[in-house]
Amino acid sequence: MTPEEFRRIGHQVVDWVADYRSRIEDFPVLSPVEPGWVRAQLPEELPERPSDFDALLADVDRVVLPGTTHWQHPSFFGYFPSNASLPSVLGDLLSTGLGVQGMLWATSPAATELEQALMDQLATAMGLPESFRGGGVIQDTASSAALVAMTAALQRASGGKWRDSGVDGSETVYVSSQTHSSLAKAARVAGLGESAVRSVAVDAAQAMSADDLAARVRADLDAGRRPVLVCATIGTTGTGAVDPVREIAAICREHGIWLHVDAAWAGPVALCEEHRALFDGVELADSFGANAHKWLLTAFDLSLFWTAHPDVLVDALTILPEYLRNAASESGAVVDYRDWQIPLGRRFRALKLWSVLRWYGLSGLREHLRGHIALAEALEGWVAEDPRWELVVPRSLSLVTIAVRDDEEATRRAMEVVNASGSAFVTHTSVNGRFAIRVAIGAEGTRERHVRALWDALRAAV
């Protein structure tokens, strides 16, 4: 494909994306196809001869769109948002067009230094501690962030021996029943196994109990175990619960345990000063993560990760084969982000984040966040006025968890009817064994009429 062919076809593709976004509300939110439908539409063999992009776009319309759940739909209320704002799409296009492999500073100075600058500036804008400046890096997801935090924790707990000798079977990590499953998976990948993971009790608000954590740490120490990492969460997936970070940090400090704070969904709201109380104690954490690809309008994948101990992280992950040696790295004057992550290669993700920050500005991002919280407050009020429905737990920012009073089957039926209709999409959670519907408000195009339509549909279904 020549640059001129790219120019002509690129206009077609951009037009297709713009047209899709302009008519996204015409599609059912949840894909209605049966398992195997998409594959059945594809030819049995790969094409032998070239074909043009017109044919590809026609097949996207014919095959891909019917098999797509539309995450950018304004009535997508499931899981958490995965915003792919159009400025971030264009930033991603720029990044892909440059085709940078930014594993070393030398392989693209701009990729490294733009990322360093943005991570430091965001730390300041979010009110994060000074200890995180210089310790920021873009990971692909919060799952990878958890894994690199765990490797750093193991390196520190072992006195620098983990990288060479691995685990010895005495290590323990601490989560709650509400902690994201990526922490248990990280323990598996790091070689600890699930037997090393301790599930700490939660209180009535579904937040981790600091008292139970302290008791479990003490019991493991008495048994000759080595506590390595605690994960506290600000905005759990199930209910949006906020763990008591400051109390947890005090326990970690007492015993030299690495504290990782997972704020994958809620983290961006630290841009709004009125919500900073949720982040009390973060200045005592060893690492902190927040996903820009959830609530910060940046196309998947882009996870923000900071650590107060980048030297420990780099020490845990550095491997330097001869073919990567270069004068800039050996000078010590640059950062090579390959040493801050699991894979060697890395994309120029900072460009799409920069596109978002430049297009919206901090004021626009705060307006985006506050708007969703206001919509959740409105839904909270409507639920309170309806005698058949109730909040299962208090609203958390833009997440509202609800159920039909004393009728679990009706709650389940309401969710299934709404999802099957295609008009909206919600997901569920379990709170103390009770089935509940999560309404996660966060799509860029969501307005009050979409939330009202969801609420009317849920009520009509019971």
- Please calculate the CA angle 72-73-78 and round it to the nearest 5 degrees: 85
Q: H helices of 126-280, where?
A: 142-157, 162-165, 182-189, 210-222, 245-255
8 A C-beta contact, residue 184 and residue 175? yes
In the predicted structure, residue 417 carries a pLDDT above the cut 70 = yes
In the predicted structure, residue 86 carries a pLDDT above the cut 80 = yes
**pLDDT value at position 322?**
65
Would 287 be classed as within a structural domain? yes
Would 14 be classed as within a structural domain? no
8 A C-beta contact, residue 287 and residue 261? yes
> pTM to 2 decimals?
0.94
**pLDDT value at position 161?**
84
**pLDDT value at position 318?**
87
Would 366 be classed as within a structural domain? no
* CA dihedral angle for residue 288, residue 125, residue 442, residue 259, rounded to 10 degrees: 10
Q: Which two tokens stand for residue 273?
A: 């000063």
In the predicted structure, residue 65 carries a pLDDT above the cut 70 = yes
Would 224 be classed as within a structural domain? yes
**Average model confidence (pLDDT) across the chain:** 95
Residue 151: CB atoms within 10 A of its CB come to: 22
19 class by beta-carbon count within 10 Å (0-12 exposed, 13-18 middle, 19+ buried): exposed
Would 53 be classed as within a structural domain? no
**pLDDT value at position 173?**
97
Cα 311 to Cα 158, 187, 253, 286: the distances in Å are 15, 22, 19, 12
Whose tokens are 């909206």? That residue is: 424
**pLDDT value at position 331?**
80
Q: What is the pLDDT of residues 12-25, one digit of tens each?
A: 999 999 999 999 99
Would 112 be classed as within a structural domain? yes
Q: Which two tokens stand for residue 62?
A: 């014919």
Q: Which two tokens stand for residue 126?
A: 């979010």
**pLDDT value at position 330?**
78
Domain that holds residue 145: 100-347
Number of domains in the chain: 1
Q: What is the pLDDT of residues 306-353, one digit of tens each?
A: 999 999 999 999 887 766 788 877 788 889 999 999 999 999 999 999
Q: What is the pLDDT of residues 210-227, one digit of tens each?
A: 999 999 999 999 999 999
Cα gap 36→30, rounded to integer Å: 16
Q: What is the pLDDT of residues 350-385, one digit of tens each?
A: 999 999 999 999 999 999 999 999 999 999 999 999
Q: In the structure, what pLDDT confidence band is assigned to residue 400 with cuts at 50, 70 and 90?
A: very high
8 A C-beta contact, residue 432 and residue 207? no
Would 420 be classed as within a structural domain? no
* Rounded mean pLDDT, 95-109: 93
All residues at 6 or more sequence positions from 443 whose CB lies less than 8 Å from its CB, including other chains? 71, 72, 73, 74, 75, 76, 77, 81, 83
* Rounded mean pLDDT, 64-78: 97
**End-to-end alpha carbon distance in the chain:** 56
**pLDDT value at position 163?**
77
Residue 394: CB atoms within 10 A of its CB come to: 13
CATH number at residue 241: 3.40.640.10
**pLDDT value at position 437?**
97
* CA dihedral angle for residue 346, residue 350, residue 353, residue 354, rounded to 10 degrees: -160
Q: What is the pLDDT of residues 108-156, one digit of tens each?
A: 999 999 999 999 999 999 999 999 999 999 999 999 999 999 999 999 9
Question: Is 330 or 3 the better-scoring residue by pLDDT?
Answer: 3
Cα gap 235→242, rounded to integer Å: 5
- The alpha carbon of 127 is separated from its chain's Cα centroid by a whole number of angstroms, namely 19
Q: What is the pLDDT of residues 127-136, one digit of tens each?
A: 999 999 999 9
Radius of gyration of the chain (CA): 23
8-state DSSP, 390? E
**pLDDT value at position 162?**
81
